[in-house]
């Protein structure tokens, strides 16, 4: 669903962010593509997270959920990895779910054959592009990487495949070496698009515009960005790349992936919508349900207060914020958060009972139970007993535990 942009794009019925995001001095530095696409890598790079395994049925189910969400492209797997992966890719292709389906391959003819046999029309083809990775990890020289890429990408093109050329460790390469590989493959081999790959998450956000500009000066193709989250900035780097003119964001569900994971599509999509006024057309209300489904399926543990997809982000324990909640409930809910949790399908804000609770929390829960305190002294006694119980439990109290405390204090 596309969200209409108003004269105040930082403030709508569903979000309230900073007006400085849309200051002319800020916006003048941006050049968003008119056709940003999400390229989901959960079924391939996501599964490279240590210990994370999806069977065929799970891969198909995730592909269906991603399609329902409106993800534009799905990297369905690497058929050379296993027969199970190959079978899952074939079934995903057969179901014609809507998103463009890609396989992932090394720049090798044999890998291309596997992809052709799966029935896909699109392929991501990887090759290392930093001199040190070639030397130490692959024991190759640059010419071998170029020759192999040229041969394999032409073979893919001749077999009717759209080729996304994926440059491993490109962000740690010398820029002249990197451009030499890319330009050689563009000239003598084949690429329909280029993906800049920050394999080790070592690019800082301020370097992104420079890199995108350098590449776009030479390569007049759609440009993708694939970033790992080793410094916790994967999504920020991805957003910066899109603001600098990249067309395709490689992301995963809840940042799963190799080592620290990939850029999170949830972070990128919601940031684009509410902080930049760029609506990519996803069904945003399906974001949290998909994150929940993914956690249950995979057993993946994420921080409970992780932005957007954390299960506890809408819980209010602090007494002062509980007071805000009392005052703004039903009137101005965006005084409590930068966007309404319902925008992403997350349960709405609610007050909980714990060590940080104060008098407003007591008022809220006494009212819920139909109880009345004689004066503030009784309420404060309840607060103190809540804190004592929270220390004993080392956690939040249930409504039943609150009621037991309240009735003892009130003599009810």
For residues 212 and 240, is the Cβ–Cβ distance under 8 A?
no
* DSSP annotation string for 171-197: GGS-HHHHHHHHHHHHHHS--SEEEEE
For residues 148 and 107, is the Cβ–Cβ distance under 8 A?
yes
For residues 243 and 236, is the Cβ–Cβ distance under 8 A?
no
Q: What b-and-e string marks burial along 88-114, b requiring 16 or more CB atoms within 10 Å of the CB? A: bbbbbbeeebebbbbbbbbbbeebbbb
Over residues 289-336, the pLDDT tens digits come to 999 999 999 999 999 999 999 999 999 999 999 999 999 998 999 999
Structure-block tokens of residue 257? 């992936």
pLDDT at position 1, please? Answer: 52
Distances (CA, A) of 88 to 17, 69, 248, 256: 41, 20, 24, 19
CA dist 174 and 202 (Å) reads 14
Residue 259 — left, alpha, or beta (φ > 0 → left; ψ -120 to 50 → alpha)? left
What are the start-end ranges of the H helices in 256-358? Answer: 265-275, 287-298, 319-328
Which run of H or of E encompasses 40?
A: strand 37-40
For residues 315 and 60, is the Cβ–Cβ distance under 8 A?
no
CA dist 383 and 405 (Å) reads 9
For 30-282, give the CATH class: alpha beta
Supply the DSSP symbol for 279.
Answer: -
pLDDT at position 6, please? Answer: 74
List of residues 6+ apart from 405 with CB closer than 8 A: 382, 385, 386, 389, 397
> Judging by DSSP bridges, how do beta strands 73-75 and 193-198 pair with one another?
unpaired
Over residues 186-236, the pLDDT tens digits come to 999 999 999 999 999 999 999 999 999 999 999 999 999 999 999 999 999
Which run of H or of E encompasses 316?
A: strand 315-316
For residues 49 and 41, is the Cβ–Cβ distance under 8 A?
no
CA dist 202 and 184 (Å) reads 25
So where are the chain's domains? 30-282, 315-410
Average pLDDT per block of 10 residues along the chain, 412 residues long: 73 97 95 97 96 96 98 97 95 98 97 97 97 94 94 98 98 95 97 98 96 96 98 97 98 97 98 98 98 95 95 96 94 96 97 97 96 94 97 97 97 79
Distances (CA, A) of 252 to 8, 41, 291, 407: 31, 5, 11, 49
CA dist 109 and 134 (Å) reads 20
pTM of the model: 0.94
Over residues 77-99, the pLDDT tens digits come to 999 999 999 999 999 999 999 99
pLDDT at position 7, please? Answer: 86
């Amino acid at each position: 669903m596309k969200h209409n942009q108003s004269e105040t794009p930082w403030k709508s019925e569903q979000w309230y962010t900073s007006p400085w995001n849309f200051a002319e001095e800020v916006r003048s530095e941006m050049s968003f593509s008119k056709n940003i696409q999400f390229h989901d890598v959960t079924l391939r790079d996501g599964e490279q997270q240590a210990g994370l395994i999806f069977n065929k049925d799970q891969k198909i189910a995730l592909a269906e959920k991603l399609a329902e969400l409106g993800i534009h492209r799905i990297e369905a797997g690497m058929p050379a990895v296993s027969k199970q992966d190959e079978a899952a890719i074939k079934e995903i292709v057969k179901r014609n779910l809507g998103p463009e389906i890609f396989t992932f391959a090394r720049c090798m003819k044999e890998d291309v054959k596997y992809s052709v046999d799966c029935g896909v029309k699109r392929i991501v083809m990887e090759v290392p592009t930093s001199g040190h990775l070639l030397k130490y990890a692959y024991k190759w020289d640059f010419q071998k990487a170029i020759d192999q890429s040229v041969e394999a990408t032409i073979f893919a093109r001749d077999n009717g495949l759209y080729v996304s050329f994926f440059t491993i460790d490109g962000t740690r390469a010398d820029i002249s070496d990197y451009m030499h590989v890319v330009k050689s493959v563009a000239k003598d081999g084949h690429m329909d698009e280029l993906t800049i790959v920050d394999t080790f998450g070592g690019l800082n956000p301020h370097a992104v515009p420079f890199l995108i500009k350098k590449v776009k000066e030479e390569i007049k193709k759609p440009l993708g960005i694939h970033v790992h989250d080793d410094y916790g900035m994967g999504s920020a780097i991805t957003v910066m790349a899109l603001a600098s003119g990249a067309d395709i964001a490689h992301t995963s569900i809840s940042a799963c992936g190799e080592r620290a994971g990939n850029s999170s599509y949830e972070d990128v999509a919601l940031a684009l919508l509410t902080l930049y006024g760029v609506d990519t057309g996803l069904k945003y209300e399906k974001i949290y349900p998909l994150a929940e489904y993914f956690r249950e399926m995979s057993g993946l543990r994420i921080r409970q207060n992780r932005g957007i997809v954390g299960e506890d982000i809408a819980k209010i324990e602090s007494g002062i914020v509980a007071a805000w909640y009392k005052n703004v409930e039903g009137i101005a809910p965006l005084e409590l958060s930068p966007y309404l949790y319902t925008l992403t399908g997350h349960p709405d804000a609610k007050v909980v009972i714990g060590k940080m609770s104060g008098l407003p929390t007591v008022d809220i829960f006494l009212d819920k139970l139909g109880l009345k305190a004689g004066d503030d002294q009784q309420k404060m006694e309840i607060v103190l007993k809540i804190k004592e119980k929270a220390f004993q439990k080392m956690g939040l109290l249930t409504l039943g535990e609150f009621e037991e405390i309240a009735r003892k204090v009130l003599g009810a």
